[in-house]
Structure 1
Amino acid sequence: MGSQIKEGEEHNQNPPPRLLTLPTILTIGRVAAIPLLVSTFYMNGWWATTATTSIFIAAAITDWLDGYIARKMRLGTAFGAFLDPVADKLMVAATLVLLCTRPLEVAVFGQIPWLLTVPSIASIGREITMSAVREWAASQNSKVLQSVAVNNLGKWKTATQMTALTILLAARDSSLMGPGILVASGVVLLYISAGLAIWSFAVYIRKIRRVLLK
């Protein structure tokens, strides 16, 4: 009887982890916001541009916030760890595709129809390939998995990418001062983020190669 009570107490002290924690709810919210992002993007009026940009900024903030809460309050879950990068990639990919369907004119660069298409393909292609590489690394030993942990280049890539996409979404509002300068700076940052994406991917591959050759 005593052992049964003890086992029951241990069971109560170690409840099963919850599937839906606050960080996971924030992550799910980012996924749910994608249809709103798409619908407001194709609406007319200054409010639509403001709404689209606000949705993207809110998604970027919650991307940082859910990770911070998960670490600070120890609310991380396996489901949340899986969903978080998926939500980020979906939001970024959706925004890149939307911007390619309605490219803004950039007087500095002239008429270049593929101006946004090239960095968008590079960025989305890198994320798809990197997801496959990380999935493969997870099936290998811990050293291989450690070699694809997020590095500083990846963080800089994310920062410049989020900034570029925010600028390009906001620049669709013609009431803003100097929209030409805004668009040009957004395009330049988007190419920088695409370059950092390819560079960081090359670094990951080099690390994996070193581990496998040991």
Structure 2
Amino acid sequence: MTLTAIAIDDEPQALDVIRLHAARVSFLDLKATFTDAFEAIAWLQSHKVDLLFLDIKMPDISGIDVVKSLSRVPMIIFTTAYSTYAVEGFNLDAIDYLLKPFPLTRFLKACNKALEHKAVRNSTEPAFLFLKTGYDEEKVLLEDILYIEADGNYLTFVLKTRKLLSRQTMTELQQLLPADQFVRVHRSYLIAIHKIDKIGRQELTVAGKSIPIGASYDESVATIRARIAQR
């Protein structure tokens, strides 16, 4: 199994370290490196990778805000010289947090965690999920999901015949759902592509529900159109 990745850091020397370390990790394919976070964001709109090595404190936009801006979020490994950002980083469901300067052994450990996460995710993309609802876990068939609405750290799963409330983030959920079937179209909404009834300029309709398209999610709609065209 291979991990594809890119790295974003405003310090060229930091990227040099990542490139050197990445060359020593046999299963890691580092596709590109960026000192300009906005160039990386634009690149990610048309390219998909498994993993993002991301500095947090950058001059024009923080790594935290980079993650929040992405419609499709890869696995994240934060790379920073500031340990004070660790809690916020893990609140975004980061795979790991590398404190500069980090040796190859620590870099490899983080990569192995990402590889294990990808393997688990690939093996847990069946036709169902178990959702934690209060003290219980309920089995939900993917084919029954119409759309998911986020409210803070809670998600409402709107199914064919009922609704379920589960405590998890949208980012956590995106890592579990197959990307060819579910797409995030707004910071608060993730929809089942095959349940879409209508695609408008600024909204989608799913089971009679009008769902807004976020200003930064045009690429998601393009993805939806492409997936529908392939069917």
Greater relative contact order structure (CA < 8 Å, 6+ sep): 1
More strand by share: 2
**Could you state the TM-score of these two structures normalised by the residue count of structure 1?**
0.25
Return the index of the structure with the highest Cα Rg: 1
More helix by share: 1
